[in-house]
Chain A
Amino acid sequence: MEFEVFGNKDTRSGFGEGLAVLGEQNPDVVALCADLTGSLKMDAFQKAHPERFFQAGIAEANMIGLAAGMTIGGKIPFTGTFANFSTGRVYDQIRQSVAYSKKNVKICASHAGLTLGEDGATHQVLEDIGMMRMLPNMTVIVPADFNQTKQATIAIAAHEGPVYLRFGRPVMPIFVKPDAAFVIGKADVLAEGTDVTIIACGHMVWKSIEALKELHAIGISAELINMHTIKPLDEAAILESVGKTGCVVTAEEHMMNGGLGEAVSQVLSRKYPVPQEYVAVNDTFGESGTPMELMTKYHIDTPDVVAAVKRAIARKSIII
């Protein structure tokens, strides 16, 4: 159960590098930022292509409207701000001017979830996946590490239509191969197993990799799926795996309400009901602390994945 690690970086830097690559590759890509250029790592694009970079200031609603309008001349706008200000603050603008109008805007959201850390609950959005996956026409992507965030950033430019790309602040291990292909809507099976299926996204993929080691040590064979695309969800990958393992644990840095786990449970309840356990934040706001302290306190850490696996497997033996 060994995973090759290619160093440690934050996923937001993957976005910044991907955007810089797009700047060179595709003259139609433009970028907008709401006074967080450094935090979003958009400096490289800004420096190389000042004519295609638009500083919106602290005015996110206007930024989303600008981006929607910029699609009309054939451009592909990437907006950048924190996940909280990329979604809840501008939900109506996204709903009407981007999703309903089917505009080719890429909403790129950093500092998502608890791992934003010390800034506290005002900035720690845990509802954004739910808000975005409820919108028709919206694609929702939560890449797992630096390499995958870079790959996803490049991939979404080639996808026609609105996209929500969610990433974060903490430095985490890199385990996706630098040359891996990113296919929207196609899950990555990271480990094969027979006792349980762990379906994770974002930073929780690494936490689940850590859990695999512990599970292996106690004789549990877990299959691990990196569900980097929440919408459209790779139903085939879920059903194929669950058909083999018979139970599921979902793991996400998001509210239990509205997130990856709920998306997976919709598939299972309709097509293949099996026990499911959730590793997610349960109907509470976060608080200040270091990213890893918060993951522990709010039960989205490696031991929580292990415990959820044990619960899910135990429920398989209950005869209904």
Chain B
Amino acid sequence: MARKVQFFIMENTALAGIASQVRRDIVRMVSAVNSGHPGGSLGCTDFLTYLYFEQMQHNAADFQMDGKNEDLFFLSNGHISPVWYSVLARAGYFSAAELGTFRKLGSRLQGHPSTDKNLPGIRMASGSLGQGLSVGIGAAQIKKLNQDPTLVYTLHGDGELQEGQIWEAAMYAAANNVDNIIATIDANGRQIDGDVEEVLSLGDLQQKWRAFGWEVLHMDGHNFDSIRSTMQQAKSMTGKGKPVVIIMKTEMGQGVDYMMGSHKWHGVAPNPEQLQVALDQLAETLGDY
């Protein structure tokens, strides 16, 4: 069923249609096993849809672990695995039917992403936070060593930036001119215990990244024009000696009204009645798995 993904500028309506199906997949996956993380998944749906369906050069039909001559993506905040799994499936890495195995015994779709069961599209386990930026930078340095001009993309939660390893990696990338990586921060302002600002304020995030030597861009994670123009700008800034980070404003739970505006749906699954309310708000565009 795998197919080669075409690379072209898509209509925003086409992207929105895919994103709507991905959101349906997310709430159905987590509801079915009464566990998982819908909030951040819904918030990053538009970004990951854009990344896999328009931005990245990648080969869904023939997944190769070494990823030579294709763009790589690492999900550092691994708990939003539902959105990644759905986007991978809808992009052709594996059958959408497999989404129904999420978090079930023996599934390749583990609670947090892993390479353990050889799910196409995943190159590194994540879940314990703060490790994905280091991994992405390492992969980016080897792309340079291999004279491979493709790029590395990473995604991180804003709460995840409280992990010290992120800042070790940030310092390293700038000091070593790792300019073939584009990191994105899911700035939804929420984490498990509440608002990031209350749990442990990140302070002036833009100034922090700038002080660490990164180019900093901002985008609206729910506006495809903003995502497209920012991602294209980020790509144009690569190869110029500095790593690039995008602070992406999102809403946790985007697309499901009762999940928005709160941290409560970070790691809670909707019950069957709540699921139906969510699905009523999300058009089925590509067919449910």
Whether A101 pairs with B66 at a CB distance below 8 angstroms is no
State which residues 111-129 of B face A: CB under 8 Å: 114-116, 123-128
Contact of B139 among A52, A70, A102 (CB under 8 A): A70
Whether B116 pairs with A100 at a CB distance below 8 angstroms is yes
Q: A70-B139, A93-B131 are in contact. Are A65 and B145 (CB under 8 A)?
A: no
Whether A92 pairs with B128 at a CB distance below 8 angstroms is yes
Whether B141 pairs with A54 at a CB distance below 8 angstroms is yes
Cα-based distance from A52 to B146 in the complex (angstroms):
11
The reply on A73 being an interface residue by CB < 8 A is yes
B138 contacts which chain A residues (CB < 8 A)?
A: 65-70, 72, 77
Q: A51-B145, A70-B141, A73-B145 are in contact. Are A64 and B134 (CB under 8 A)?
A: yes
Q: A66-B141, A97-B135 are in contact. Are A72 and B67 (CB under 8 A)?
A: yes
Whether A72 pairs with B116 at a CB distance below 8 angstroms is no
Give A99's nearest chain B residue, CB to CB.
B125
Whether A102 pairs with B116 at a CB distance below 8 angstroms is yes
Cα-based distance from A70 to B178 in the complex (angstroms):
13
Contact of B127 among A56, A59, A96 (CB under 8 A): A96
Cα-based distance from A93 to B74 in the complex (angstroms):
15
Q: A52-B145, A93-B131 are in contact. Are A69 and B168 (CB under 8 A)?
A: no
Contact of A101 among B68, B114, B130 (CB under 8 A): B114
A95 contacts which chain B residues (CB < 8 A)?
A: 128
Cα-based distance from A72 to B143 in the complex (angstroms):
9
Whether B134 pairs with A65 at a CB distance below 8 angstroms is yes
A101 contacts which chain B residues (CB < 8 A)?
A: 114-116, 124-125
Whether A66 pairs with B131 at a CB distance below 8 angstroms is no
Whether B68 pairs with A65 at a CB distance below 8 angstroms is no
The reply on A61 being an interface residue by CB < 8 A is yes
Cα-based distance from A92 to B165 in the complex (angstroms):
11
Whether B142 pairs with A97 at a CB distance below 8 angstroms is no
Cα-based distance from A65 to B168 in the complex (angstroms):
11
Whether A65 pairs with B171 at a CB distance below 8 angstroms is no
Whether B169 pairs with A65 at a CB distance below 8 angstroms is yes
A57 contacts which chain B residues (CB < 8 A)?
A: 171-172, 175
Q: How far is the CB of B129 from chain A (nearest CB, A)?
A: 10
The reply on B256 being an interface residue by CB < 8 A is no
A266 contacts which chain B residues (CB < 8 A)?
A: none
Cα-based distance from A173 to B27 in the complex (angstroms):
65
B244 contacts which chain A residues (CB < 8 A)?
A: none
A64 contacts which chain B residues (CB < 8 A)?
A: 134
The reply on B22 being an interface residue by CB < 8 A is no
Whether B165 pairs with A100 at a CB distance below 8 angstroms is no
B116 contacts which chain A residues (CB < 8 A)?
A: 100-102
Whether B67 pairs with A69 at a CB distance below 8 angstroms is no
B140 contacts which chain A residues (CB < 8 A)?
A: 69
State which residues 133-159 of B face A: CB under 8 Å: 133-143, 145-146, 148
Which of A61, A64, A72, A75 has the most C-beta atoms of chain B within 10 angstroms of its own C-beta?
A: A72
The reply on B164 being an interface residue by CB < 8 A is yes
The reply on B30 being an interface residue by CB < 8 A is no
Whether A72 pairs with B114 at a CB distance below 8 angstroms is no
Whether B145 pairs with A66 at a CB distance below 8 angstroms is no
State which residues 28-42 of A face B: CB under 8 Å: 30
Cα-based distance from A97 to B115 in the complex (angstroms):
10
A30 contacts which chain B residues (CB < 8 A)?
A: 142, 145
Q: A52-B145, A59-B168, A73-B143 are in contact. Are A66 and B125 (CB under 8 A)?
A: no
Residues of chain A touching chain B, judged by Cβ–Cβ distance below 8 Å, are: 30, 51-52, 54, 56-57, 59, 61-70, 72-75, 77, 92-93, 95-97, 100-103
14 extra interface residue pairs, beta carbon distance < 8 Å, beyond A65-B169, A70-B139: A56-B172, A57-B171, A62-B134, A66-B134, A66-B137, A69-B140, A72-B142, A73-B146, A74-B142, A77-B138, A93-B131, A93-B134, A97-B134, A100-B116
Task: Kindly list the 5 A-B residue pairs having the minimum CB-CB distance in the complex, ordered from nearest.
Answer: A65-B134, A69-B138, A73-B142, A66-B138, A62-B168
A-B contact pairs, 13 of them (CB 8 A): A61-B130, A68-B124, A68-B131, A68-B138, A69-B138, A72-B65, A72-B67, A73-B145, A73-B148, A74-B66, A77-B138, A92-B128, A102-B115
